[in-house]
Structures are given as structure tokens and as C-alpha cells.
Amino acid sequence: MSVFLEYDCAALDAQYFVRGYLPEWDDKIQEFKALSATRHAVGRMHLDLPYGDHPRQKMDVFLPENVRPDASVLVFFHGGYWRMMDKSQFGFVAVTAEVAGAITVVPNYRLLPDASLEQIIEDACDAVRWVLGNIAQYSGDPGKIVLCGHSAGAQLAAQVTTHVGRQFRAMIGISGIYDLRPIAASFLNEIGFLDAGTLQKFPAPEAVSALPCCGELVFGGAEPEELSRQSSEQATYWKRPGSTSTLTCIHDANHATVVEQLKDPSSQLGQIVTKKLTL
């Protein structure tokens, strides 16, 4: 019996079980951590800046050498199905932003099951509000913010665009999860964080109004069909009048290697990000 589109329970779970179709996932995360440790060892940065009182409500700020006044700012939200991973694994994304002379901000946020999805989204919004109010102290321009996120982090970035009353330069979603209906029907909802009320608050893509900034949606050509659908459908609905949205498939990239491209400014994703930061 189908539980979402043509998928039965087992087939839907397989679409979202990353370690099932990507057995090297844990090794990749360790590589990300090592790449980030390399960036932590050199260059300018401010680690664990608090934007709230909870231990998870902290962020890392990475500054390029010879940062200029009014620098652009990349705010990157990590993924992990809202329940795992950490900013310390994604400091490497600053490498691409720094080539564009931009500052990089990587926040942590509270995680399931200790926080609800609403609270997690509020953390993301609070982190960006902190950036808006404080990044000028680090030579950043609050009017030149590019939001970015991977997987569940892309959903957070998208929510920030509609919940924080500011115009952002762009929102870049990398293999994002925007439609929560399949998540609610899968093993990922065993803890019950997506009930009917929560789904109403964060509706399906076709019910979402135009994105209030330029959208760049990116996914890997080697990802499961559901993750491809998530980006392609969201891009379609964000192409409504009053909004611009671009969809890019990075061929042969999977759920890990697509975001890994941010270690290389010359990569396809790296060029997309640097272009938005240098507009």
C-alpha cells in the first residue's frame, strides 16, 4: 500500500535512509570534520559566539584575510534530518566564501527530540537575526547576506527567508528537504515530530508563496529520486511571478559529494556560491 506518491513504507524509507544508499556516508562526515579542522587551524575566526542561552545556540564566524568593510556574508546551515551533526563538521565551507572575500557564519541549532521543529526553525531565525544585528562588527554588510543550507539545513534557510522580515541576496538550497509530507510518512517520523498541526504550519511546496529572494536550488544527479523531486518541485513553485529560482543538477554528485564541492571554489557549486556573494 502506498503511503506517499507511489511509494510503500519500505520504498519510501529507502529513499531517505542515507546510509542505506550511501554506505560511505559516515566516512565522508569524518572527512568533512578533517577539512574543517584544517580551516580551524589557520586563518581568522571567532568560534562559539552565542546567539542564545542554550549550549547549541552558538555559531562560528570565519573571516577572510584582509576582509574589506561591508563584506558579503554566507550563512550556512548544516543538515542531519534536524537531529544530528554539528557546525564543527562544516567549517570547510568558508574556503569557497573566502575566495569571494566573504565572511562565513555556521550556526548550530537545537536538535530533535530535545526541541520541536518549530523551535529549531526559530533557532535558525534567531541566528540570522544575530547576524543582521552584529555582523557589522566583523566588517560584514547585513544587506549582503546569502543564506545556504544542505539537506534539512536548506529547509531551515528557506524558512528564514519567510520568517525574518528582511530581504536577502539569495537562498541557496543544496539537496534540500522542503516537502515534509514524505518525512512524516517515513521512519524519520518515528519520534512523532511531524504531526498534523506541524504539517499545516509548514505546508507542501505548492502551498508556499513565492520565495522573497533569488533561489538557487542544487542537487546531485546520483541522489535518490525523492531528493531530486524535492528540489525540482520546489524550484517550479518558486518560479511564480515575483520570484526567480534556478535549478541545477550536479551530475554524478551524491548527497555527500554535492556539499563537499564547497571545499573547492572552482567546482560547479563553488562557482554558484561565489557568484551570489559577489553580485
Extents of the domains making up the chain = 9-277
Q: What is the spatial distance between Cα 61 and Cα 22, in angstroms, rounded to a whole number? A: 30
d(CA 74, CA 144): 9
- What share of the chain has pLDDT > 70, as a percent? 97
Q: What is the pLDDT of residues 179-194, one digit of tens each?
A: 999 999 999 999 999 9
CB atoms within 10 A of CB 230: 27
Question: What is the per-residue pLDDT for 218?
Answer: 99
* Domain at 9-277, CATH homologous superfamily: Alpha/Beta hydrolase fold, catalytic domain (3.40.50.1820)
Look at residue 244 in the predicted model and tell me its pLDDT: 78
As given in the structure block, the three cell numbers for residue 174 are 543544496
Q: Is the pLDDT of residue 207 over 90?
A: no
Report the pLDDT value the prediction gives residue 263, as an integer from 0 to 100: 98
Mean pLDDT on 204-215: 74
pLDDT of residue 268: 99
Among candidate residues 31, 203, 28, 13, the one with its CA nearest the CA of residue 194: 203
Alpha-carbon span 41 to 19, nearest angstrom: 30
Q: What is the pLDDT of residues 59-100, one digit of tens each?
A: 999 999 999 999 999 999 999 999 999 999 999 999 999 999
Question: What is the reported pLDDT for 279?
Answer: 86
Q: Identify the pLDDT of residue 107.
A: 99
pLDDT tier at 33, thresholds 50, 70, 90 = very high
Does the pLDDT of residue 203 top 90, yes or no?
no
Question: What pLDDT was estimated at residue 72?
Answer: 99
Report the pLDDT value the prediction gives residue 212, as an integer from 0 to 100.
80
Residue 259: pLDDT over 80: yes
**What's the mean pLDDT when you consider all of the chain?**
96
The pTM of the full predicted model, rounded to 2 decimals, is: 0.97
Mean pLDDT of all residues in 112-128: 99
18 grid coordinates: 542515507
Contact 99, 66 (CB under 8 A): no
Runs of H (alpha helix) within 135-267:
152-163, 181-184, 196-201, 225-237, 257-260
Contact 60, 37 (CB under 8 A): no
Provide the CB-side half-sphere exposure for 22 (13 A, CA): 19
- Per-residue pLDDT band for 17 (boundaries 50, 70, 90) equals very high
Residues 180, 130: contact at Cβ < 8 Å?
no
pLDDT of residue 209: 62
The Cα–Cα gap between 274 and 252 comes to: 22
Q: Which residue has the cell 542537487?
A: 219
Beta strand 71-77 pairing with 140-150:
parallel
What pLDDT score was predicted for residue 166?
87
- DSSP assignment of 238-266, as one string? TTSTT--EEEEEETT--TTHHHHGGG-TT
